[in-house]
Structure 1
Amino acid sequence: MSTRDLREKYGSNGGTPAVINRAIRAECPGGNEALDALRSFHEILRSDRLESNPTAKAMAEAARNRLVEIANAMEAEIRRRYGMPPETRKP
């Protein structure tokens, strides 16, 4: 399988990350829930609701970081399945 197969199966709208996210939601057990939770944590951390509670903010950041790890592992699996090169993330 290839990137072309991935785009044919999940649509060519959006960039590669968007197509990979659609594949994660469809093919990875818990993928839909993980990506939804990750989006929710991003929204919470972008708001100012946690500024007055540093402990809650730290807990939310830790949970978000764990969800990022899970989503990255799911992305790596999709890339492996479709013969795509590994993502090289800049620090």
Structure 2
Amino acid sequence: MARVVVDVMLKPEILDPQGQAVQRALPRLGFEGIADVRQGKRFELEVEGPLDEAALARIHEMAGTFLANTVIEDFTVRVDDAVRAES
């Protein structure tokens, strides 16, 4: 089985209140030197069958229509080669 990872992040121009809250908390916890924090979502998909161009196209479509709100979020789709190598 292959694993495909979909990372979803708010677009750079969209305010990220969760990321800002983390950034404000870091110095209080002793973690200095972090200029910015953006928080996102990660989906790990275990794909049945061959991971061909058609399967990747379906996953890309899924990400753009269901996993991400493309009005305010960007996403990337990548194959987790470490999992593929173990198969």
TM-score normalised by L of structure 2: 0.32
Q: Which protein has the larger Cα radius of gyration, Structure 1 or Structure 2?
A: 2
Q: Give the number of the structure with larger relative contact order, counting CA–CA contacts within 8 Å between residues 6 or more apart.
A: 2
User: Hey, which of these two has a bigger chunk of helix by percent?
Assistant: 1
